[in-house]
Structures are given as C-alpha cells and as structure tokens.
C-alpha cells in the first residue's frame, strides 16, 4: 500500500487511460478519476462522472468548461498529492483551471499523446498548450517528435519525460503462426492519419483483390464508413471495435501500414512490432525512433515509395521475416515493456 493520493483527469473509456490508472491501482495508491466519458474501463473505483453528454472523439467538447468549478470542488475535498491529466489543450486545460481555483498544493502533470501538440486545430490552441505546459510540474511526451515541439514552445527540458507506457510483452502462444491478414491499418480517421493516401495507393496496386486488407478506423462516422465500403469493396473496414478483437486482427496481420503526417509513439505500431507484423510507415521523426528503414521495417515518402516497399515486403522470404520479427520483439522488450516503463513514470511523476 502506497500512502499517496493520485487523481487522474482523463477519458475512462480509453485504453491509454486504463494503462496509467490500473498501474497505480495495482501499486496500492489511493486512486481517483474524473471523466466526461460514460463508461469506466479502468480498475479505479473512486470515479467522478462529470457529465452525461459523453465524449465526442471528433472534438468539439466545449461543454467541459461548464464543469471547472465542480472539478475544483472535488480537488479541494480529495486533496490529492498528484494530479495527472491527459491531452494538453482539452482535459489538461480544464484540470489546470480547476486546480488553480481549488488553491490546493499538489504536483500537476499532463500527458501529451500526439495530436494535442502536433496537430492543433488553430493558433489559439497552441497558446492554451503553452499555458498548460508552462504551468505543469511534469510533462509526459510519448515521442521525440512531441518533445521537439515542446522545446519549440520553450518548455523546460528537465520537466519532460519522453516515452510510451509500453506493452505487456508476454506473447500469446502461436501469435506468429496464424497470419491470414496480408495488410492492416489501425489509425483514427482524420486528416493527420492520411488514410486516403493509403487507400488510393492500394487501389492502383496490381492484384490487390487477391490480398486480404483490413482498415480499423476509430472516430469515423457511419456515413463515411459506408462510402469507403462502397468505393473500396475489396477492403474490410471497421470503426470502433473492442480492444480484444482489435488485438486479434493485429496478431493475424503480416504487414502494418500507417501514413500519419505527425504522431506520438503509436500504440498500434508497438503492438504490430510485438506480434510480428512488418511495419510499413511514414518517414516521420517519431517513426524513425522505432524503425530503421530496411532493417526492422520500412519507411516511405509518398505513394510511389509506399507501393515499391509494399511489393518488397510481399517478396520477403520466411527467414527474412523471422529476422525482422526477432529484432522487433527484442526492441519492445528493451524499450517498451509496460511494467518497466510505468515504474519510470511513477518515479518521475512524484
């Protein structure tokens, strides 16, 4: 049992939140969670549901501001030793304003997941980010690309932790053996994910109909999903699906593709590396932190390069793929094991 109170302000439905919250519950902290979501997928029992409206994954959750006074009152009652908020200009901003109103003494930290720093809607949100980050005691950046952006915002480097919370690296039996999905993509459906580049590239590939291709597109509307199904009938599309089903699809995949323009460390990339899918991903800073082109995956620039390297991967023999899988398994074990990463986070967050 740890005689410390930690209070999270985050989306209780998110796998990212559950990874953080569950670790501290298991460690014996007195854990609290405030959320605008309607479902709790964490182990936390001390939960405050701030609204019945739920969370729109496509943004526009401006009603959050109406709950600042309620959240500040909760902070005063609980008096947590640590407050940790997820996503800088949204819940990070709300939590910081509530903290200032509460006038309690605590350690405040914010987790920057990627889009909140690298893909802000317009300039006003960057000013909010700067305010939140400057007033945070600790800042968590899930990739070097985010860290570089924080440096541009003149955030002190000594209060920044760079790293993802990691994965449980215990491979399920036969996780490399049943590979009946040739190509898989698992990214949110937004402009930063560049989904259309992937779809348009695959559409001009010869014999694409002979490959089993799957796209998981969280945040896509039902209308847009139907349009994609009609336009690309040879591709299987999914919107939001259960985490266990998503993991089953990843474990069955031979190639993982992503064309994001900017990113944190994508959890789906780490999962693909762990479970033996060959990464074929955009040549951006955060991806270069994990993939050395031609060694443990492939980086591409544009459609032509994507197709060239896709054909190259499809021509790899079994020994070449096993060598690549071995490197990625070792890399995840060394750099992204869940318990090791969370222990570092725990020490830093105090």
- At residue 312, the 3 state secondary structure works out as helix
Residues 200 and 283 in one domain: yes
Q: pLDDT band for position 174 (50/70/90)?
A: very low
Q: Which two tokens stand for residue 298?
A: 């492939």
Bridge partner list, 140: 111, 161
Q: pLDDT band for position 34 (50/70/90)?
A: very high
Q: In angstroms, rounded to a whole number, what is the distance separating the alpha carbons of residues 104 and 111? A: 21
Asked whether 95 and 135 are in contact (CB, 8 A), the reply is no
Predicted pLDDT of residue 56: 56
Q: Residue 341 domain-assigned?
A: no
Q: Which two tokens stand for residue 278?
A: 């060959």
Q: In angstroms, rounded to a whole number, what is the distance separating the alpha carbons of residues 93 and 20? A: 19
Range ranked top by mean pLDDT from 13-17, 104-108, 205-209: 104-108
Give pLDDT tens digits for 188-213: 898 889 999 999 999 999 899 999 99
Q: In angstroms, rounded to a whole number, what is the distance separating the alpha carbons of residues 67 and 75? A: 12
Q: Which domain holds residue 234?
A: 181-335
Q: Residue 344 domain-assigned?
A: no
Residue 176 pLDDT greater than 60, yes or no: no
Predicted pLDDT of residue 286: 87
Residue 14 has φ and ψ, to the nearest 5°, of -80, 140
- The secondary structure element, H or E, covering residue 118 is helix 115-118
Q: Residue 81 domain-assigned?
A: yes
How many domains does the chain contain in total?
2
Bridge partner list, 216: 186, 238
Residues 125 and 230 in one domain: no
Last residue of a domain, which of 162, 197, 225? 162
Residue 121 pLDDT greater than 80, yes or no: no
Read off the DSSP letter of residue 35.
E
Say which residue the tokens 């079994």 belong to: 318
Q: Residue 157 domain-assigned?
A: yes
Residues 120 and 192 in one domain: no
Q: Residue 68 domain-assigned?
A: yes
Residue 257 pLDDT greater than 90, yes or no: yes
Residues 151 and 195 in one domain: no
Residue 196 has φ and ψ, to the nearest 5°, of -60, -35
Residues 154 and 204 in one domain: no
Residues 209 and 278 in one domain: yes
Q: In angstroms, rounded to a whole number, what is the distance separating the alpha carbons of residues 307 and 325? A: 21
Q: Residue 246 domain-assigned?
A: yes
- Of 55-59, 144-148, 241-245, 279-283, where does mean pLDDT reach its minimum? 55-59
Asked whether 222 and 239 are in contact (CB, 8 A), the reply is yes
Q: Which two tokens stand for residue 115?
A: 């889009």
- At residue 292, the 3 state secondary structure works out as coil
Q: In angstroms, rounded to a whole number, what is the distance separating the alpha carbons of residues 190 and 280? A: 19
Residue 124 pLDDT greater than 50, yes or no: yes
Q: What is the pTM of this model?
A: 0.85
**Residue of 12 and 124 predicted with greater confidence:** 12
Asked whether 137 and 118 are in contact (CB, 8 A), the reply is no
Residues 30 and 156 in one domain: yes
Q: pLDDT band for position 218 (50/70/90)?
A: confident
Residues 156 and 12 in one domain: yes
Q: Residue 152: which CATH number?
A: 3.40.50.2000
Give pLDDT tens digits for 60-77: 566 678 899 999 999 999
Q: In angstroms, rounded to a whole number, what is the distance separating the alpha carbons of residues 343 and 350? A: 12
- Of 56-65, 262-271, 299-308, 323-332, where does mean pLDDT reach its minimum? 56-65
Residues 95 and 190 in one domain: no
Q: Which two tokens stand for residue 201?
A: 């590239």
Q: Residue 267 domain-assigned?
A: yes
Q: Which two tokens stand for residue 121?
A: 């809607």
To the nearest whole number, what is the mean pLDDT of the chain?
91
Residues 110 and 142 in one domain: yes
DSSP character string of 119-168: S-SSHHHHHHHHHHHHT-SEEEESSHHHHHHHHHTT--GGGEEE----B-
Asked whether 167 and 274 are in contact (CB, 8 A), the reply is yes
Residues 155 and 9 in one domain: yes
Residues 150 and 214 in one domain: no
Q: Residue 345 domain-assigned?
A: no
């Amino acid at each position: 049992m740890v005689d410390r109170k930690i209070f999270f302000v985050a989306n209780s439905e998110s796998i990212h939140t559950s990874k953080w919250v569950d670790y501290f519950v298991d460690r014996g902290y007195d854990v609290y969670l405030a959320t605008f979501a309607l479902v709790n997928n964490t182990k936390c029992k001390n939960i405050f549901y701030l609204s019945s409206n739920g969370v729109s994954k496509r943004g526009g959750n401006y009603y959050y501001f109406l709950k600042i006074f309620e959240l500040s009152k909760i902070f005063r009652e609980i008096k947590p030793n640590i407050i940790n908020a997820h996503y800088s200009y949204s819940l990070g901003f709300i939590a910081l304003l509530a903290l200032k109103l509460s006038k309690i003494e605590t350690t405040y930290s914010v987790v920057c997941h990627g889009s909140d720093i690298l893909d802000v809607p317009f300039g006003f949100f960057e000013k909010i980010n700067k305010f939140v980050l400057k007033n945070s005691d600790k800042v968590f950046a899930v990739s070097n690309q985010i860290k570089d952006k924080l440096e541009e915002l003149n955030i002190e480097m000594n209060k920044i932790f760079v790293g993802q919370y990691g994965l449980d690296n215990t491979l399920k039996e036969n996780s490399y053996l049943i590979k009946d999905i040739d190509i898989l993509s698992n990214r949110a459906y937004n402009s930063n994910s560049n989904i259309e580049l992937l779809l348009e590239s695959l559409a001009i590939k010869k014999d694409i109909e002979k490959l089993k291709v799957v796209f998981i597109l969280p945040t896509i509307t039902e209308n847009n999903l139907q349009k994609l199904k009609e336009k690309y009938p040879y591709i299987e599309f999914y919107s939001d699906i259960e985490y266990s089903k998503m993991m089953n699809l990843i474990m069955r995949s031979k190639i993982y593709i992503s064309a994001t323009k900017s990113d944190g460390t994508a959890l789906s990339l780490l999962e693909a590396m762990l479970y033996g899918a060959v990464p074929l991903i955009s040549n951006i800073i955060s991806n270069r932190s994990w993939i050395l082109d031609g060694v443990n995956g492939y980086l591409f620039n544009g459609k032509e390069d994507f197709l060239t390297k896709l054909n190259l991967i499809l021509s790899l023999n079994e020994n070449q793929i096993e060598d690549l899988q071995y490197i990625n398994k070792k890399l995840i074990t060394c750099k992204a094991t869940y318990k090791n990463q969370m222990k570092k986070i725990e020490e830093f967050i105090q």
